[in-house]
Amino acid sequence: MATPGLDDDSLQQLRSRATQLLLKENWTEYIAVCSLIIEAFDAAAACKDRRVLCSTLAHRADARARLGDAPGALADCDAALAADPAHPGALLSKGAVLRGLGRYSRAAECFRAALAVSGTDEVREMVEQCKRLDAQARSGAVDLSEWVLAGFSGKCPDLAEHVGAVEVRRSAHGGRGVFAVKNIEAGANLVISKAVAIGRGVIPDAADSGEKMVVWKDLVDKVLDAAEKCPRTASLIYTLSTGEEPEDELPIPDMAHFKQETEELDDGTAMAPKASLDVDKILKVLDVNCLTEDAAPSANLLGSNGVVNCGVGLWILPAFINHSCHPNARRTHVGDHAIVHASRDIKAGEEITFAYFDVLTPASKRREAARAWGLECQCDRCRFEASDAIVGQELTKLENELVNGRGGDMGALVVRLEERMRKSMVKERRKAFLRASFWSAYSALFDSDKLVRKWGRRVPGEAAVAESVAGAIGGNESVLRAMLRGADNGNGCGNRLEVEDKVVRIGRATYGRVVKRQAMRALFRLTLDADSNKSL
Ligand SMILES: C[S@@+](CC[C@H](N)C(=O)[O-])C[C@H]1O[C@@H](n2cnc3c(N)ncnc32)[C@H](O)[C@@H]1O
């Protein structure tokens, strides 16, 4: 049938052209050609056969979604569904866009409606996948066991974003921070966040700053592109600090903005006319808020796609988490998602903190690292180490020996520290802080059979030291490795079952509750195999 406003031949030509562009994955031109077809249909308002119009709208929606234009894609799907509420292509496209936006229950509704029209196993699986992701988004429970046991091969497991029992409040650390709103056990997931964008590359160890700039530029381009296409993304980026605002004036964002399912789709943000971007502000936000994947156990580094060794990205809610040298949270990177978990038990009302840099180092080294981040850490541990009158002087001497006395007998140093702490009746919690600060000396002692034979009886066992340090800085690969080695040497702290239980608890505190016990053993093997000086 001839389409008013466009004769059959012209329509056929446009459709052939569209198919060619589709095969070439030239989405921008494909969208332009689809738009010509749609305009022609719009001009022919009386046309009864709307199938071509609906399919073209659904195809343009897919192309827009591929280019990251979710609002445009949804508008196309809605236009197609207004003309034919049971159009399978439009239902599938809308489901896919909603799934990409993390609106799993609404995506499942679309897939279910599509299944009713043309039921295939593939669509049934889409419904099931959305149900799984919806449950995961609500509970935060993730199971990566199969993937870990398969040696991280194949596609990363699907993950949904999740906001656990946390909220953004004003922080004593500076500006805003993220706080627990109920008691949380070590290992529990707090936040699962998909990156706005990640810049990745292969950077040789001795890379010059030019190579790093390429990765940075890649990230900047991707973030600007994402913000340009999605007003919601832009407005989330603008909630982050540029580092220039007075800290007490930084607004506290409404948590609903971070929760995909609770945020209204038609709140005006999605369809708002695109305001021009404040590029300067976004660049400053990136400077203050980016996280690197290699600062945490990362699927890339754990072996899944080992070609990439440098990833820097922007994850919105994790960017509100402040630093502490006595941190209670860590993150793991799986694909584009950052999973933030409790690395110690956390009490309701406590601030959630990460270590921005290695905190298994003495106070002076941490001060230097903090300065490089433009902050002065005032956490319990730093305040104790800066002020303690009893251990103070001796501590400075020991610290100088540790930092400057390369090659000295680290066993003797550990013995002096332990004896000093015993004489000064330093409480367990503070002993743990100091052991964390002198971790390299403890590691050197336990790494050497000779030093263990010489000093072993005058210091606590390796597993006991590891357990104590995990209490101060939470789970950590290096600490877990010491716990595993200590437990293996019978150098543990308790009977066999107690030690096993402690090992699993530190394992969960290190990697999060993302695997079952059997898969945890695979992570233990990786931890033990890893070079002791290198994070996983
Ligand atoms: C990624 S942001 C963290 C969120 C930030 N506090 C906010 O309100 O948006 C990093 C910035 O937070 C501040 N910050 C983080 N940890 C801190 C700490 N322990 N002490 C002082 N300032 C800290 C510093 O200004 C740092 O540049």
Tokens 């708002």 appear where?
Answer: 272
CA of 161 from ligand 1 middle (Å) equals 23
Q: Are residues 182 and 330 in the same domain?
A: yes
Provide the residue range defining the domain that includes 519: 375-533
Same domain, yes or no, for 181 and 104? no
Tell me: do 506 and 418 sit in the same domain.
yes
Distance 284 CA to ligand 1 centre (A): 14
Atom of ligand 1 nearest to the CA of 240: 9
* Mean per-residue pLDDT over the chain, rounded: 87
Could you give the count of Cα atoms lying within 13 Å of 89 in the half-sphere of its Cβ?
A: 19
User: Does ligand 1 lie within 6 Å of residue 323's CB atom?
Assistant: yes
| Ligand 1 center–CA 524 separation, angstroms | 33
- The verdict on the CB of residue 535 being under 6 Å from ligand 1 is no
> Which residue's C-alpha comes closest to atom 27 of ligand 1?
288
Distance CA 193, CA 255 (A): 14
At which of 139, 172, 205 does a domain end?
139
Q: Are residues 94 and 51 in the same domain?
A: yes
Any atom of ligand 1 within 6 Å of the Cβ of 277: no
Q: How far is the CA of 217 from the centre of ligand 1 (A)?
A: 24
Query: What is the separation of C-alpha 502 from the centre of its chain, rounded to a whole number of angstroms?
Result: 26
Tell me how many domains the chain contains.
Answer: 3
In-domain check, residue 528:
yes
Tokens at residue 215, please?
Answer: 């990765």
The rounded distance, in Å, linking the Cα atoms of 141 and 10 is: 53
Convert the pLDDT of each residue in 307-351 to its tens digit.
456 789 999 999 999 999 999 999 999 989 999 999 999 999 999
Checking if the pLDDT of 2 tops 50, the result is no
Q: Are residues 312 and 403 in the same domain?
A: no
Q: Is 174 in the pocket of ligand 1 (CB under 6 A)?
A: yes
Rounded distance between C-alpha atoms, residue 142 and residue 405, angstroms:
45
Residues 282/227, Cβ–Cβ less than 8 Å: yes
- Give the dihedral of Cα atoms 457, 462, 464, 467; nearest 10 deg: 160
Domain membership flag for residue 151: no
- Asked whether residue 150 is assigned to any structural domain, the reply reads no
CB of 320 within 6 A of ligand 1: the answer is yes
Cβ–ligand 1 distance for 243 under 6 Å, the answer yes
Same domain, 170 and 121: no
| CA distances for 412 relative to 4, 64, 170, 451, 479, angstroms | 92, 66, 44, 9, 21
Alpha carbon nearest to ligand 1 atom 9, residue: 241
Could you identify the atom of ligand 1 that is nearest to the CA of residue 374? Answer: 27
Give the pLDDT confidence of 77-90 residue by residue, as tens digits: 999 999 999 999 99
Q: What's the confidence (pLDDT) of residue 305?
A: 44
- Cα–Cα separations (whole angstroms), residue 434 to 371, 411, 501, 516, 532: 21, 15, 25, 33, 20
Closest approach atom of ligand 1 to CA 250: 8
CATH of the domain at 16: 1.25.40.10
Q: Which of 5-9, 162-166, 317-321, 352-356 has the lowest mean pLDDT?
A: 5-9
Same domain, 37 and 135: yes
Q: Strand 197-201's sheet: what is its strand order?
A: 197-201, 310-314, 291-292
Is the Cβ–Cβ distance between 86 and 63 less than 8 Å?
no
Same structural domain for residues 105 and 182?
no
To the nearest 10°, the Cα dihedral for 50, 55, 60, 64? 120
Q: What is the pLDDT of residues 441-500, one digit of tens each?
A: 999 999 999 999 999 999 999 999 999 999 999 999 999 999 999 887 766 677 778 888
Closest to 34 in 3D by CA, of 85, 73, 82: 73
Whether pLDDT at 356 is above 60: yes
Does any ligand 1 atom lie closer than 6 A to the CB of residue 349?
A: no
The model carries a pTM of 0.88
What's the pLDDT at 44?
Answer: 66
The per-residue pLDDT for 276 is: 87
What does the alpha-carbon distance between residue 62 and residue 113 come to, in Å, rounded to a whole number? 18
Distance 320 CA to ligand 1 centre (A): 8
For residue 507, the CA-to-ligand 1 centroid distance in Å is 28
Q: In this structure, is residue 21 part of a structural domain?
A: yes
The H-or-E segment that residue 310 falls in is strand 310-314
Rounded Cα distance between 103 and 117, Å, is 22
DSSP codes of every residue in 182-195: S-B-TT-EEEEEE-
CA dihedral (306, 309, 310, 311) in degrees, to 10, reads 20
Closest Cα to atom 13, ligand 1: which residue? 174
Model confidence at 270: pLDDT above 50:
no
273, 251 in Cβ contact below 8 A?
no
Is the pLDDT at 202 greater than 90? The verdict is no
Q: How far apart are CA 493 and CA 487, in angstroms?
A: 8
Indicate whether 395 pLDDT > 90.
no
| Site to substitute for ligand 1 among 193, 252, 288, 367, most atoms within 8 A of C-beta | 288
Could you tell me if 528 and 403 lie in one domain? yes
Report yes or no on 368 lying in a domain: no
Evaluate: CB of 367 within 6 angstroms of ligand 1. no
Give 154-219 as a DSSP string: SSPPP---EE-SEEEEE-SSSSEEEEESS-B-TT-EEEEEE-SEEEEE---TT--HHHHHHHHHHH
Closest CA to 60 of 75, 46, 45, 50: 75
Q: DSSP assignment, residue 275?
A: P
In a domain, 268, yes or no: no
Q: Are 110 and 174 within one domain?
A: no
pLDDT digits (tens, 9 = 90+) for 91-118: 999 999 999 888 999 999 999 999 998 7
41 lies in some domain = yes
Which residue is it, tokens 């060794």?
309
Chain-centroid distance of CA 29 in Å reads 34
Residues 202 and 230 in one domain: yes
H or E element that contains 313? strand 310-314
Q: Which of 326, 351, 375 to mutate to test the pocket of ligand 1 (most atoms within 8 A of CB)?
A: 375
Domain final position from 105, 139, 173:
139
80 shares its domain with 110? yes
How far does residue 174's CA lie from ligand 1's centre (Å)? 5
The H or E element containing residue 446 is helix 439-447
Evaluate whether residue 477 is within a structural domain. yes
Cβ-in-10-Å burial (0-12, 13-18, 19+) of 410 comes to buried
Q: How confident is the model at residue 1 (pLDDT cuts 50, 70, 90)?
A: very low
Whole-number Å distance, alpha carbon 395 to ligand 1 midpoint, is 28
pLDDT at 306: 46
Centre of ligand 1 to C-alpha 36, Å, is: 50
Question: Where does a domain end: 285, 317, 351?
Answer: 351
Task: Give the 3-state secondary structure of residue 466.
Answer: helix
